[in-house]
């Protein structure tokens, strides 16, 4: 029976961050992925789904609660969450914490085979992190894309987070994007803009779904990651 998943606290960039670490039993040098959840979600949503599926493929994972989410939902009062400067500060803190999380994960896995997985808001964040962290070798984005078309705040938001600028700095590393054809939260044209800005090797897979993707996406994404991280071959050698 697989070990039960439990939450713990890890030190990341000066913060005690709730996290779920899923190692691969008997494989301390396995590849690993950092899992970033969506808006209003939490680490368990990623750990219980793609984290468990990655372990079956021989890939360890770390899922963390991002600022203002999960066990950290009470970090800032409601009035402060309406302050754009306060939210920008939290976003920058999230980027820094993710960089520290990759270092933490690298100390427990193969530092040459680290991946990032982001869903929705986590996909936006993954782009920013991967642009800064050369340790990220592979990235999978679910329901991610460019920012919405022009709004009164578009220019301000892009000074803090610009997916197009970030994805261009991920050049030369494998990218998988999975998206719903009927997504009204992160629209298909946003995904297409981000994909167009990315360099090869890259792949965009469409599903007959909205913002919440079908279970088969996890199977497809973990298989893709296993191939690029060499995890499946390593797992077969352990079983031989």
pLDDT value of residue 231: 73
pLDDT value of residue 80: 60
pLDDT averaged over consecutive 10-residue blocks of the chain (240 residues)?
79 94 91 97 97 96 96 75 77 95 94 96 97 96 91 68 94 97 97 98 98 96 96 49
| Torsional sign, CA 45, 123, 34, 216 | positive
CATH number assigned to the domain covering 8-239: 3.40.50.1820
pLDDT for 35-92, tens place per residue?
A: 999 999 999 999 999 999 999 999 999 999 999 999 998 877 655 666 777 888 889 9
> Cα separation of 46 and 37, whole Å?
6
pLDDT value of residue 66: 96
pLDDT value of residue 71: 94
pTM of the entire structure?
0.92
Residue 41 contacts residue 47 (beta carbons within 8 Å) = no
Strand-pair partners of 114: 32, 136
């Amino acid at each position: 029976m697989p070990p039960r998943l439990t939450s713990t606290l890890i030190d990341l960039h000066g913060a005690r961050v709730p996290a779920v670490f899923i190692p691969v039993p008997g494989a301390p040098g396995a590849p690993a992925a950092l899992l970033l959840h969506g808006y209003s979600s939490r680490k368990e949503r990623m750990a219980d789904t793609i984290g468990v599926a990655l372990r079956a493929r021989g890939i360890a994972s770390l899922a963390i609660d991002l600022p203002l989410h999960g066990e950290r939902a009470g970090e800032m009062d409601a009035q402060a969450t309406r302050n754009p400067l306060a939210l920008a500060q939290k976003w920058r803190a999230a980027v820094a914490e993710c960089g520290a999380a990759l270092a933490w994960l690298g100390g427990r896995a193969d530092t040459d085979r680290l991946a990032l997985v982001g869903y929705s808001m986590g996909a936006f964040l993954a782009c920013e992190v991967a642009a800064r962290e050369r340790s990220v070798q592979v990235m999978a984005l679910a329901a991610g894309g460019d920012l919405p078309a022009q709004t009164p705040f578009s220019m301000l938001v892009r000074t803090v987070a610009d997916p197009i600028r970030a994805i261009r700095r991920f050049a030369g590393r494998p990218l998988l994007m999975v998206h719903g054809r009927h997504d009204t939260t992160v629209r298909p044209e946003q995904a297409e803009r981000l994909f167009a800005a990315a360099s090869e090797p890259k792949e965009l897979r469409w599903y007959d779904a909205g913002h919440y993707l079908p279970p088969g996406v996890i199977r497809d994404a973990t298989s893709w990651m296993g191939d690029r991280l060499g995890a499946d071959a390593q797992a077969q050698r352990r079983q031989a």
